[in-house]
């Protein structure tokens, strides 16, 4: 079985984490929450994510197990997929078409759900309309990483995600984007399984 947490870590990343931790105390976070916060902060060089991100450790534990058991990973755009370097992903944006009342990003979410069914991890870092569409479907996700960026619809879509009760990683502000969304997924991917971490 692949063990993504055994990936080679470049000295620049080690030093970057050292400097980040010198400026940001993350020791009070639970293990997976800490992993997500640190990788997102590291990816954006933005310490503000430490108080902007919203997630639940129990949901992350279940999502981590699903991810390492082989649950599908779906992304809204290829840029998010490109950031997830040690796992195959599904992105249907190139096959999608816009129509009346439906953006191309929203259609891509429909197409992806038809392909993967329930139980996937959804990673949305670009389009608020993709997240809005996901919330209309009965996807029964293992996790929704909802971190779309923008001044139109991003805050509202992330608030709707939190209010949905779905297992999720989101943030409160307008910021987000492909790099931070893929970083949140990578944090779970790179974190060892519990039995490996003892």
Residues classed as catalytic:
42
Q: Half-sphere exposure (CA, 13 Å, Cβ side) for 144?
A: 33
Tell me the sheet residues that pair with 74.
Answer: 90, 122
CA distance 182 to 184: 5
H or E element at residue 106: helix 104-116
Q: Count the neighbouring beta carbons within 10 Å of the beta carbon of residue 115.
A: 13
């Amino acid at each position: 079985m692949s063990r993504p947490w055994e990936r080679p870590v470049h000295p620049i990343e080690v030093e970057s984490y050292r400097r980040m931790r010198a400026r940001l105390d993350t020791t009070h976070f639970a293990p997976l929450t800490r992993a997500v916060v640190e990788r997102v902060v590291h990816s954006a060089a933005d310490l503000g994510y430490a108080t902007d991100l919203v997630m639940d450790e129990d949901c992350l534990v279940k999502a981590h197990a699903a991810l390492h058991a082989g649950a599908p990973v779906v992304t809204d755009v290829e840029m998010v997929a490109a950031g997830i370097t040690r796992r195959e992903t599904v992105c249907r944006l190139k096959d999608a078409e816009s129509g009346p009342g439906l953006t191309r990003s929203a259609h891509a979410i429909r197409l992806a759900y038809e392909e993967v069914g329930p139980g996937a991890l959804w990673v949305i870092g670009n389009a608020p309309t993709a997240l809005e569409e996901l919330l209309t479907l009965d996807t029964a996700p293992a996790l929704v990483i909802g971190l779309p960026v923008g001044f139109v619809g991003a805050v509202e879509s992330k608030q709707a995600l939190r209010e949905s009760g779905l297992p999720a990683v989101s943030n409160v502000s307008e910021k987000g984007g492909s790099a931070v969304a893929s970083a949140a997924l990578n944090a779970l991917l790179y974190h060892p399984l519990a039995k490996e971490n003892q």
